Structure 1
Amino acid sequence: MPKFAANLSYLFKEYPFIERFAEAKASGFDAVEVLFPYDEAASEIARKLADHRLDMVLINMPPPNWAGGERGFAAMPATEDRFRKDFIRSIRFAKLLRAQHMHLMAGRAKGVVALETYKRNLAWAAKEAPEMSLVIEPLNETDMPGYFLNNFDMALEILDDISAPNLGLQFDAYHAQMITGDLFETWDKCKDYIRHVQIASAPERAEPRKGEIDYPAFFKHIDYSGYTGWVSAEYTPKKRTTEGLDWMQMPT
């Protein structure tokens, strides 16, 4: 059975953000991730992590304006100066939280210029922070129309082209199923590149129980493949978070 982390941007939203760390620990999680933790003081988040003996698995590099703005901008031409400035700020934050991975969001873009911009930014970031595990993640077109990185073949080609030891793949099982329709085949194709995993039911993006994905079989499959990293619950609970956590005890 994999080791599970809680995405505090999705789970335990019945509580103020800073109280979710305690709730995650009380519910059996030993690690958490936060999409964009930048509205809180890093010192306060770090204190909560220490108080509850939680690991910070992942944070995202901040897009310009998540509330109504672009979803990242690593692939958006003419934004390289801003990318570098925000990357340096994000790395400082990640180090204070001892985050294991940082996701660099591509943003909405298309075409050859966007691809070259994306690869140039990723290569620069990997060189700028060689001690940090950086990840990219394909997102499906239904949830993120126009998002540049929207398929796994492109992601693997980019990773091969850059070939940086600290740059890998964030594998979201929900997005993989939505993009390809075959989660298990996609995992097998990508497994050598995967640094971090996220889960939710498809197509609802709710608790990882019902839907198109057989999660007991998937958990067994990734264990068999040798994956030993965290598997983060990134879904929208149908009720209170604690009422839907029985999936953590599903037999495999």
Structure 2
Amino acid sequence: MIRLAANLSMLFTEHDFLDRFAAAADAGFRGVEYLFPYAYSAEALRTALDENGVEQVLFNLPPGDWEAGERGLASLPGREDEFRDSMVEALHYAEVLGCPRVHAMAGLLPQDADARIQAEAREAHHATYLSNLRFAAEEAAKAGRELLIEPINTRDMPGYFLCRQDQAVAVLESVGADNLRLQFDLYHCQIMEGDLIRHLERLLPHIGHVQIAGVPERHEPDIGEVHYPAVLERLEALGYRGWVGCEYRPAHGTREGLGWGEPHGLVS
């Protein structure tokens, strides 16, 4: 059975953040994810989980200066110490929240540079990325956690270092850590590559978490060009038993748009 997790950074934004846990539980979600927990104490978030009977399934490592446009540290040369500190902080939250996996955002390549400098930057980012992920996967393994990487489309996030599935698989294979897994976001994959069901079939051994959203506007999964009933049916038939994160922006109110999820236990 498909297990849906509410992304509380995007869903139930009609409520204050700590009230979104109750709203998600009331709508039938049994798992939650979000971008970042760090504006709140781990203990306050633990209380929200416990009071509403939901599981924490995923969150991201600190991304650098998000407000200034940074989108992760893992591939950024010269920021290795900051990345390592971010991993320590994330694992502390994961321990308190009982969260089995965390996502390390890769970060952005420099955009205002000629082709030669871009190529040199990509090589430097790649080497830094592998080194940082080796460290982070080892630390996560000590804590009994999975570490995820996620290809993100370059239309929404121009310059993002990790943007295609084969690139991600090559990274997984280069690092060679059993607990380093793929965060497969069907929305991002559809924009960059399409052929979603074949990607799922091929990549399933690497996948640690799945996320969905309608394409191209990132609204509910029943809005747009992807026929999610067929995709989710195939995902379940393949034997995937992890969570499916609902990382979309409701077209109107969150509850009003949950009809698509009624076959999976949601209540609109």
TM bracket, shorter-chain basis: over 0.9
* In 1: Cα distance, 2:218 partner to 2:64 partner: 25
Deviations 1:167-186 (A, max 9, x none): 10001010010110221122
Q: CA deviation at 1:250?
A: 4.7
Q: CA deviation at 1:203?
A: 0.7
Name the counterpart of 2:181. Answer: 168
Does 2:122 match 1:122? no
Task: Describe the SS at the equivalent of 2:67.
Answer: coil
Deviations 1:104-132 (A, max 9, x none): 00000241111010000000111122111
* In 2: Cα distance, 1:106 partner to 1:18 partner: 28
* In 2: Cα distance, 1:197 partner to 1:69 partner: 25
- The answer to whether the 8 Å contact 1:216/1:250 transfers is no
* In 2: Cα distance, 1:139 partner to 1:236 partner: 16
Does 2:16 match 1:16? yes
Does 2:242 match 1:244? no
Deviations 1:68-123 (A, max 9, x none): 33100100111101111111111101111111210000000241111010000000
Greater mean alpha carbon deviation, residues 60-69 or residues 131-140:
60-69
* In 2: Cα distance, 1:106 partner to 1:184 partner: 25
Which of 113, 138, 148 pairs up with 2:151?
138
Task: Describe the SS at the equivalent of 1:56.
Answer: strand
* In 2: Cα distance, 1:181 partner to 1:69 partner: 27
Structure 1 stretches of at least 4 aligned residues deviating more than 6 Å after TM superposition: none
Deviations 1:105-160 (A, max 9, x none): 00002411110100000001111221111100000010010000011111001101
Q: How many residues align?
A: 251
Q: CA deviation at 1:189?
A: 2.1
TM-score (norm 1): 0.97
In structure 1, the gaps of 5 or more residues are none
- The amino acid of 1:32's aligned partner reads V
* In 2: Cα distance, 1:122 partner to 1:97 partner: 22
- The answer to whether the 8 Å contact 1:238/1:244 transfers is yes
* In 2: Cα distance, 1:210 partner to 1:64 partner: 33
* In 2: Cα distance, 1:225 partner to 1:68 partner: 41
Q: Report 1:1-252 matches (<5 A).
A: 1-109=1-109, 110-130=121-141, 131-250=144-263
- The answer to whether the 8 Å contact 1:180/1:186 transfers is no
In structure 2, the gaps of 5 or more residues are 110-120
* In 1: Cα distance, 2:128 partner to 2:32 partner: 31
Task: Describe the SS at the equivalent of 1:51.
Answer: helix
Q: CA deviation at 1:210?
A: 2.5
TM-score (norm 2): 0.91
* In 2: Cα distance, 1:84 partner to 1:39 partner: 19
Task: Describe the SS at the equivalent of 1:111.
Answer: helix
CA-atom RMSD in angstroms: 1.1
Task: Describe the SS at the equivalent of 2:84.
Answer: helix
* In 2: Cα distance, 1:4 partner to 1:229 partner: 9
